[in-house]
Amino acid sequence: MNISVDLTLSPLSDDFEQHVIDFIKALRASQFTVLENPLSTQIFGEFDQLMPFLNEKIKASFENQDICVLTMKVIKTDRSTYEPHF
């Protein structure tokens, strides 16, 4: 099944920006579709492939920080081609 995942990484440190950049670059380097906006990053793919990948990248990001919050929404559909119709 295809999923869409919305991620917001919020490191609680003075050097938060570099941690966010590193996390986004790790997502971009994957085979998955990645879209970004000023508030969050979305990644799209097949559930059984995407979730283990995210688990690995989230863990790596957390290991490089003292305190960090990650907000994640998972939607059971591929919304990568969504365009508003209004």
pLDDT attached to residue 52: 98
How far is residue 59 from each of residues 38, 56, 63, 64, 69, measured CA to CA in Å?
23, 5, 6, 9, 12
Average pLDDT over residues 27-46: 97
pTM: 0.92
Average pLDDT over residues 8-15: 94
pLDDT attached to residue 17: 94
Average pLDDT over residues 30-37: 97
Let me know the angle formed at the C-alpha of 35 by 76 and 65, rounded to the nearest 5 degrees.
95
Nearest partner of 40 among 27, 53, 56, judged by Cα: 27
Q: For the segment 39-80, what is each residue's pLDDT rounded down to a tens digit?
A: 999 999 999 999 999 999 999 999 999 999 999 999 999 999
Q: Are 4 and 65 in contact (CB under 8 A)?
A: no
User: What tokens does 41 get?
Assistant: 């990053």
